[in-house]
Amino acid sequence: MIERIISIVRHISKWLEQLDEWLESRIKPDTVDTKYVDLAPTDKADQDGVYSNALLYATKNSRVLNIALTGPYGSGKSSIIKSFLRKYRRPALHISLAAFIPELESEVKVKRQDIERSILQQMLYGADAKKLPLSRFKRIQSPGFSAKFKTLYILSGIAGGVYLFNQSQVIMDGSFFKPFSIDNIYNLAIFPYTIIFVWIVLHQFYIASFGLSLKSISLKDVEIKPANDDQASILNLHLDEIIYFFQKTRYDLVVIEDIDRFEDSDIFVTLREINSLVNNNAGVKRTIRFLYALRDDIFINTDRTKFFEFIIPVIPIINTNNSIDMVLQQGNRLGVSEQLDPEFLREVSRYLNDLRLIQNIFNEYEIYSANLQTDGEKILDDNKLLAVLIYKNVYPRDFEELHRGKGALASILAFQDQLVQQVKAECRDEISIYEKQIEESESQVPSDLQELRQIYAMAIIEKIPDNATHILLTNGTPIPLKKLSTNDNFEKIIETTNLNCRINSNNARITIDIKDVQKGVDAKKSYQDRKKEIEMKSEDKRARDSTRVRELKSRISTLRTSKLHELLQLYTDDLSEIFRCFGKNGELARFLILEGHLDDTYYQYTSLFHSGRLSPNDNKFLIQIRAFSTPAPDFAIDNPKEVIAAMRENDFTQKYVLNIKIVDTLLSDEHYYRSQIASLFKLISSRFTDCEEFLEEYYINGQGMVSLISGIVNESKGVITTAVASQNSISHIANFIANLPLKLLEELAEDYLVLSEFVSENLVEILEQQPELDPNRLSCLNFEVKDLTEISNNHDIVKSMFNKGLFRLTISNLEYIYVNILGKPDIKDFYERNYTSILSTGNDVLISRVEKNFNNYLCDILNELEGNAYEHTSSIISIINKDNLNQDALYTFLGRQTVKLSSLKEIPEEFYTILFKLSLIEAKWDNCFSYLTYSNFDKDTLTSYLENNDNRQSIINNKIPADLDSYVLREFIFEATSLSNEAYSEYIHILPRKFSQVPKECSQDKIKILIREKKLELNQSVFDSLETIEIQALLIQQYIKEYLDNTDSINIDDKVLETLLVAEIDVSFKLKLIEDIDLDNFLDSSERTKVIEEIISDADMSILNFDGDILIKILNESESTKSQIQILNKCHAMIHTDEIIDFLRSLPTPYSDLMTNLRTHRLPMSVENLELVKWLKLRNIISSWKEENNPADTIKINLRRKRS
């Protein structure tokens, strides 16, 4: 039942709280302006009630008397307490000691008595004086409404007393009270009224006596008081007052804040003792609890758990990690987040960890911003304004001193001049170092190039014979080897492929091949490549050093106007000494200053402007330049002369001067503003890239274009290079050309080739910006028009540039000139014989332009026209005879031509080889002879030329000269063994004479051709030089008759004879060969015997004339009986009868039986046997024979009776 009642009471209590909140919200006025936030603790800090629940638990726990709410500064402890007290329905006494915190710089420590006195005063004076009538601490009491009645009561009481005093005799005798009736009501009433008044007065005096205490007795100059009165604890001294306070008031919770800021833990001992005494006092009928808001580190060790019965930790709502969110929240509240740099907010928030501080900074930001920018224009830097306010809030004393030129920031600002001098000295030292390096670099280049020449000169000399003394140029000029590397023609020499040298002994000339010299020194880079590397390396180094010198000089000129943070970053010494004056909390100041957020423009953000001679726009301009912020070039200035007068001298060396009205004003009076104009020109010329935005605007709206551009260029002609490299190069160069004097333009074109090249490449775009440009302004630049067709609408410019030959050699340009300017309709000749057609025009300008840059013409036009293959021979000869042509391009041109030159008479010798390689010379023996006698004649080239089928077919029909002078030509053909067999055979065939020796390194096929064509003499030397039996036999075979007529002229071996015997020669020649053979040695194999047998068998009887002995040897060596019978049948007439009989006896049967004593024999029937028996009968070797017709088909032979 009790629990249910408690539950109902809680619900009712909760409902009443909600009703109370609603009523408060209705009573509170709506917020008028949300741009500002108050810094007071909020009562909505504990939305989830976590801390309130913990505090409620502690306040309801009878054992908990001292409660600690711990957390760092700014963690929200005050807001948590306020949120809790809003729900805490019992009376609570709030004591805050924040007002007693000394300033950080103060060395005076607050006395403990002062702290305790403050606690006691806030405690006692916070209660109504009426509730503490006996307190010794008297307070001024204001009379209330009842005071009127009290004074009337006192007045009436005094009057009654006076009245009774005057009636004392009457009162004493009792007559005063008579009659005791309504008629005597006045006396009867006044007497008790006065008695009561006197009693009340005496009672009040009595009560007042309890508040009196004797502290000291003073007798004129002598004062008597207790010892150590100033050192006694105020709280202990007035403990009775404290107990009396809690007896007479209803407070049961005392909240004490900021007591931890005094770093005095002893005060907690006293407070704990008081809490204990109060709670133990019999006159206090309730539990009194003390709630302390403290830092976590107020107690060094675990002592705090002894002092407090309950400790509640507070999680900070802001720290250095999430302070950025709080900063952004405040920025969003004011709607300035987009105006502020997010990076600046992120970095500066790391130094801000107090929410109230952040809120106050943004409150002040809104106020300052509204006052400083009343016209709605944002001319001030929002980031700098915020930085100044952060500085103001974090370093308030230094901010106050800053206005008087004192303090830490003022001292740093005053240090700026010293920084300028120091950095200027460092820059000058560095400039001297770089200038010395530039001088050394300029002297080093010639030395490096000479060493490179010596390296390549030595490589050439290694190729030259030891007895050579001079190198000969193409014109015959001799160069001593010792002076090769220093000769002016060295670079031409190194690029040649063949080099003529003079021999010391007989002044003879030899040619050496040096085409691989450069690869021998460096396989990847040529001489020119390495030369360029040396020059570029030195040039790059000088350019880098020169650029650095210019940068340093520019830095010196701008140091005076450099921003403070830029100078500090250049400061080489330790910056800690500079920022030491900010104390321990100097990191924030260091950040703000070094990042450029806080500098000498602070006054613009701390004071208001009042217009006078300057208009608001003029003032805005000056404010911006003082803030190192460059206004837009078209910024509206109302009084430019006043603004110029208000500007500093150094301002004219900065971009601040780049305002159209200011520049126009300066240029309008060049004499008065001479120094300012000089600074202006120097600024733009030295920092041209930074000034481009202004120049682009001035080109459109400026009035002093000619003066400005001329002044810039006269200040530094090198600005042309910068303008060309700019992103707005077209606009710059177009305006330069249109406004600079012609003479100055000519000088620029001569000194800066990049200007002419740029105009040539971008002429169309330039003419688009300056369509009415004077042609003379372009022609004086001496550049070549890239494409005449692109500017064909500008007739005057096209005509002017053509007449002066200022056009690029391109196919498009020449075609345009050929057709549109010269009016030549036959475009076919232009594409098929371009150079011939150019010469045919007879136009001196065109021809001169082509001849002037013939190399380009050759590469970019003649070789690019694929159909240009029909140039006239005179044009080809003219091209060949030109000097210093690109050889590769010339060879490409020649290789495309189809018309052949009839003679080499007008051709320089160095082109003989290429013409023969390309077969551009008519196939004539005199042309071949001329090339053959050329000093640098190339054997392979002429061989390839003769190998060409067309050349061969043309020249083969002409006889080779047989005179003595032409021997070298005949010899070349004879020794041209690299020709194909077919070509070699054809050329050998028409040779008029034989050669007495075989060509060197001649293949077997070529030797066979020579032998078949009978171009080799038959002699022992030729025969011995032939490597194979087959070739030797072929030579004898071709000259068989001559050989047989004089067999002693050549010694041939049996193998050659054997080869000849089987060769396809007449049998009669073979028989003569056999006659000269030593058969005893020759017939050492059955193969040779068989060969001779076949020859004899095939020979006609009429030509056989062998000695009998030879035939017998042949017959004896034969292994075939049939062959023996055949040879015997053919040659028996040359053999003696007895030798025949002996031979027959040596044969196998049945032939050997013919020579026995038997009378009758038979031989098998065959043609050979029939012929044998016939001549045996004729020579009486047998008696008779006959054919037998029997199944065996035999021949019956009858022998003679007697046989020795």
Three-state secondary structure of 556-624: HHHHHHCCHHHHHHHCCCCCHHHHHHHHHHCHHHHHHHHCCCCCCCHHHHCCCCCCCCCCHHHHHHHHH
Same domain, 26 and 47: no
Is residue 163 a part of any domain in this protein?
no
Give the model confidence (pLDDT) of 736-759 as tens digits: 888 888 888 888 888 888 888 888
Residue 341 pLDDT exceeds 50:
yes
Condensed to tens digits (0 to 9), the pLDDT of residues 607-632 reads 665 455 676 677 778 777 777 777 88
- Do 41 and 117 lie in a common domain? yes
22 and 106, same structural domain?
A: no
Q: Of the given ranges (32-36, 350-354, 682-686, 906-910), which has the lowest mean pLDDT?
A: 32-36
| CA gap 361, 326 in Å, rounded | 12
The distance of Cα 1065 from the centroid of its chain, to the nearest Å, equals 86
Q: DSSP string of 450-501?
A: HHHHHHHHHHHHHHS-TTEEEEE-TT--EEEGGGTTT-TTHHHHHH-SEEEE
Q: How far apart are CA 600 and CA 409, in angstroms?
A: 9
Residue 561: predicted pLDDT: 62
Residue 250 and residue 128 share a domain: yes
DSSP element (H, E) containing 539: helix 527-558
pLDDT tens digits for range 397-424: 888 888 777 888 888 877 777 777 777 7
On whether residue 99 sits in a domain, the answer given is: yes
Question: Over the stretch 226-237, which tens digit does the pLDDT of each residue have?
Answer: 444 444 577 777
> Taking residues 785-793, what's their average pLDDT?
84
Would you state the pLDDT for residue 149?
76
Weakest mean pLDDT among 134-138, 433-437, 479-483, 1159-1163: 134-138
Question: Pick from 525, 540, 555: which residue ends a domain?
Answer: 540
Name residue 856's amino acid.
N
3-state SS string for 1062-1089 = HCCCCHHHHHHHHHCCCHHHHCCCHHHH
In this predicted structure, the answer to whether residue 33 has a pLDDT above a threshold of 60 is no
Say which range, 558-572, 1002-1016, 1177-1191, has the weakest mean pLDDT.
Answer: 558-572
Is the pLDDT at 637 greater than 50, yes or no? yes
DSSP strand pairing (478-480 vs 217-219): unpaired
Cα 357 from chain centroid (whole Å): 46
Mean pLDDT (whole number) for 1114-1119: 69
Question: Is 11 in the same domain as 84?
Answer: no
**pLDDT number for residue 491:** 80
Lowest mean pLDDT among 517-526, 933-942, 1062-1071: 1062-1071
Among the residue ranges 548-552, 672-676, 966-970, 1127-1131, the one predicted with the least confidence is: 1127-1131
Distance CA 543, CA 554 (A): 16
CATH number for position 44: 3.40.50
Output the CA torsion 949→951→957→962 (10° steps): -120
d(CA 237, CA 274): 11
Report the pLDDT averaged over residues 77-98.
81
**pLDDT attached to residue 104:** 43
Q: Are 1018 and 994 in contact (CB under 8 A)?
A: no
pLDDT tops 80 at residue 150: no
pLDDT exceeds cutoff 60 at 798: yes
Residue with tokens 């000097």: 883
Asked if residue 8 and residue 43 are part of one domain, the reply reads: no
For residue 218, the SS3 value is: strand
pLDDT higher than 70, residue 108: no
Instruction: Please answer whether residues 745 and 710 qualify as being in contact, where contact means their C-beta atoms are separated by less than 8 angstroms.
Output: no
Which of residues 906 and 19 earns the better pLDDT score?
906
What mean pLDDT is predicted for residues 48-63? 84
Query: How much is the pLDDT for 1123?
Result: 74
Contacts of residues 121-125 at CB distance under 8 Å and 24 or more positions apart, as own/partner, are 122/93, 122/95, 122/96, 123/93, 123/95, 123/242, 123/245, 123/254, 124/241, 124/245
Dihedral sign from CA coordinates of 344, 346, 348, 349: positive
The DSSP element (H or E) to which 1030 belongs, if any, is helix 1029-1038
1158-1164 long-range contacts, CB within 8 A, separation 24+: 1158/1199, 1159/1198, 1159/1199, 1159/1201, 1160/1196, 1160/1197, 1160/1198, 1160/1199, 1161/1196, 1161/1197, 1161/1199, 1162/1188, 1162/1194, 1162/1195, 1162/1196, 1162/1197, 1163/1194, 1163/1195, 1163/1197, 1164/1192, 1164/1193, 1164/1194, 1164/1195
Decide if 258 is inside a domain.
Answer: yes
pLDDT at 9: 66
Residue 222: per-residue pLDDT: 42
The pLDDT tens digits for 1078-1087 are 655 565 555 6
1175 domain-assigned? yes
Residue of higher predicted confidence among 213 and 332: 332
Domain check: are 309 and 445 in the same one? no
Residue 107 pLDDT > 50: no
Q: Identify the pLDDT of residue 1030.
A: 78
Dihedral over alpha carbons 541, 543, 549, 552 (to 10 degrees):
-100
Residue 602 lies in a domain: no
846 in Cβ contact with 852 (< 8 Å): no
- List of residues 6+ apart from 288 with CB closer than 8 A: 65, 246, 251, 252, 253, 254, 275, 278, 279
Q: What is the per-residue pLDDT for 1100?
A: 58
| 75 and 4 fall within a common domain | no
Question: 1159 pLDDT exceeds 60?
Answer: yes
For 805-831, what is each residue's pLDDT tens digit?
888 888 888 888 888 888 887 788 888
919 versus 380: the higher-pLDDT residue is 919
Q: Cα dist. 55→296, 312, 1144 in Å?
A: 17, 8, 159
The upper half-sphere exposure of residue 68, i.e. CA atoms within 13 Å in the direction of its Cβ, equals: 24
- Confidence band for 356, pLDDT divided at 50, 70 and 90: confident
Same structural domain for residues 48 and 22? no
User: What pLDDT score does 1040 carry?
Assistant: 73
**Domain assignment of residue 463, yes or no:** yes
Contact between 596 and 383 under an 8 Å Cβ cutoff? The reply is no
Residue 15 shares a structural domain with residue 81 = no
Other CB atoms closer than 10 Å to residue 888's CB: what's the count?
10
> What pLDDT is recorded for position 219?
41
Lowest-confidence pick of 365-379, 684-698, 1001-1015, 1129-1143: 365-379
Do residue 262 and residue 290 come from a single domain? yes
Residues 308 and 67 sit within 8 Å (Cβ to Cβ):
yes
Domain extent for 8: 1-30
Q: Which of 259, 278, 313 is the last residue of a domain?
A: 313
Task: State the Cα–Cα distance between residues 683 and 660, nearest whole angstrom.
Answer: 15
**% of the chain beyond a pLDDT of 90:** 0
Mean pLDDT value of segment 277-285: 83
Fill in the DSSP letter of residue 859: I
Q: What is the mean pLDDT of residues 300-312?
A: 73
The confidence band for 375, taking pLDDT boundaries of 50, 70 and 90, is low
Query: Does 125 fall in a domain?
Result: yes
Lowest mean pLDDT among 41-45, 68-72, 851-855: 41-45
Q: Is 63 helix (H, G, I), strand (E, B) or coil?
A: coil
Q: In the prediction, which pLDDT does 1104 show?
A: 56
Check: CB of residue 609 under 8 Å from CB of residue 418. no
Instruction: Give the total residue count for the chain.
Output: 1204
User: Mean pLDDT across the stretch 706-717?
Assistant: 87
3-class DSSP assignment, residue 1029: helix
Looking at every residue in the chain, the average pLDDT score rounds to 77
Average confidence (pLDDT) over 1002-1010: 78
Residue 1204's pLDDT band (boundaries 50, 70, 90)? very low
User: 500 — phi, psi (to 5°)?
Assistant: -90, 135
Last-in-domain residue among 256, 291, 313: 313
Check whether residue 7 and residue 125 sit in a common domain: no
Instruction: Answer positive or negative: Cα dihedral of 549, 554, 558, 563.
Output: negative
Number of helical (H) and strand (E) elements in the chain, helices listed first: 62, 14
Under the banding of pLDDT at 50, 70 and 90, the label for residue 220 is very low
| CA neighbours closer than 13 Å in the CB half-sphere of residue 937 | 16
Domain count, the chain: 4
Q: How many Å apart are CA 280 and CA 295, to the nearest integer? A: 29
Q: 591 pLDDT exceeds 50?
A: yes
Q: Single out the residue of 3, 8, 73, 79 nearest to residue 37, CA to CA.
A: 79
- 3 state SS for 132-177: CCCCCCCCCCCCCCCHHHHHHHHHHHHHHHHHHHHCHHHHHHCHHH
Q: Are 982 and 947 in contact (CB under 8 A)?
A: no
Average of pLDDT values for 436-464?
74
Q: How far apart are the first and last CA of the chain?
A: 184
Position 217 pLDDT exceeds 50: no
How many Cα neighbours within 13 Å face the side chain of 63?
A: 2
Residue 1132 DSSP label: G
pLDDT digits (tens, 9 = 90+) for 924-981: 888 888 888 887 888 888 888 888 888 888 888 888 887 877 788 888 878 788 788 8
Q: Is 702 left (phi over 0), alpha (psi -120 to 50) or beta?
A: beta
Q: In whole angstroms, what separates CA 181 from the centre of its chain?
A: 125
Q: Is residue 465 part of a domain?
A: yes
977-993 pLDDT, tens per residue? 878 888 888 888 878 88
Contact 66, 275 (CB under 8 A): yes
Q: What does the pLDDT read at residue 1099?
A: 60
Q: What phi, psi does 472 have (nearest 5°)?
A: -105, 130
pLDDT score at 1192 = 65
